């Protein structure tokens, strides 16, 4: 860590052991981002219905009215077997479950952000680019932590925020995670520093 504190330190000056360690951390973190994207992609499915059902408990659109019952007795409307088999029971996420998930993520996501942002700061990126990427990543983490609460208590119409914040989180954290790996293994070119996006 002393290397990170020294003025003018760049990530490509690390020893091979540190490069292997930080590369492994970044690549495993990136795999975590990919698994999150796949999970939320599965949750979103075709549109915002998955997020609305999971967090707000919004049911699918009401089934069309059944055909008229034959005359001569009471009419009992039952869904057919195929519809019953595919229609899940829809219950909104409870306050306790949201609190549990938020508690866990509030202790993990900021730590990962802190580590990858420090690695990103040690690259040759311009100061303005560093600031922009770190602010964007911080904002996307904060919004993504808040969206389950917004969807649950603000209404299913806010489900799009979860998808938007998830996409922003994936992009910003991918840059903060992958760019340092590229920078640390790239050779410095004749006194000039490679510049980040």
Q: Is residue 139 part of a domain?
A: yes
Nearest by Cα to 10 from 18, 98, 145, 55: 18
User: Which CATH number is 90's domain given?
Assistant: 1.20.120
The pLDDT-based confidence of 106 (bands split at 50, 70, 90) is confident
In a domain, 73, yes or no: no
What does the pLDDT look like over 111-144, one tens digit per residue?
Answer: 999 999 999 988 989 999 999 999 999 999 999 9
119, part of any domain: yes
Tokens describing residue 133: 């990427």
> How much is the average pLDDT of 160-176?
93
DSSP assignment of 80-128 equals: -HHHHHH-----PPPHHHHHHHHHHHHHHHHHHHHHHHHHHHTSS--HH
- Cα-based angle 132, 161, 37 (whole degrees, multiple of 5): 75
Q: Would 69 be classed as within a structural domain?
A: no
In 89-156, at which residue ranges do the beta strands (DSSP E only) sit? none
Task: In whole angstroms, give the CA distance from residue 83 to residue 76.
Answer: 16
Number of domains in the chain: 1
Residue 63 in tokens: 């089934």
Distance CA 64, CA 91 (A): 21
Does the residue 195 lie in any domain?
no
CA 187 to chain centre: 32
Q: Mean pLDDT over all residues of the chain? A: 78
For residue 151, give the H/E element and its range. Answer: helix 127-154
Residue 5 inside a domain? The answer is: no
Q: What is the Cα–Cα distance from 55 to 119, expressed in whole angstroms?
A: 34
Residue 24 is assigned to a structural domain of this protein: yes
Range of the domain at 128: 14-59+78-185
What local confidence, expressed as pLDDT, does residue 137 receive? 95
| 168, part of any domain | yes
**Which residue's structure tokens are 């009471």?**
74
Instruction: Please check the confidence at residue 196 and state whether its pLDDT lies above 80.
Output: no
Which sign, positive or negative, has the C-alpha torsion 133, 173, 102, 25? negative
């Amino acid at each position: 860590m002393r290397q990170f504190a020294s003025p003018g330190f760049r990530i490509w000056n690390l020893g091979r052991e540190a490069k292997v360690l930080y590369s492994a951390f970044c690549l495993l973190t990136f795999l975590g981002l990919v698994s999150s994207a796949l999970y939320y992609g599965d949750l979103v499915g075709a549109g915002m219905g998955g997020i609305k059902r999971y967090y707000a408990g919004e049911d699918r659109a009401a089934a069309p009215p059944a055909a008229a019952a034959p005359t001569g007795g009471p009419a009992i409307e039952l869904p057919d077997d195929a519809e019953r088999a595919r229609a899940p029971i829809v219950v909104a996420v409870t306050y306790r479950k949201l609190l549990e998930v938020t508690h866990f993520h509030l202790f993990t996501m900021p730590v990962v952000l802190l580590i990858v942002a420090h690695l990103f700061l040690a690259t040759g990126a311009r100061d303005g680019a560093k600031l922009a990427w770190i602010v964007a990543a911080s904002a996307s983490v904060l919004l993504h932590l808040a969206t389950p609460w917004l969807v649950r208590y603000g209404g299913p119409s806010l489900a799009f925020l979860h998808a938007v914040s998830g996409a922003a989180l994936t992009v910003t954290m991918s840059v903060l995670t992958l760019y340092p790996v590229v920078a640390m293994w790239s050779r410095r070119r004749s006194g000039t520093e490679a510049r980040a996006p």
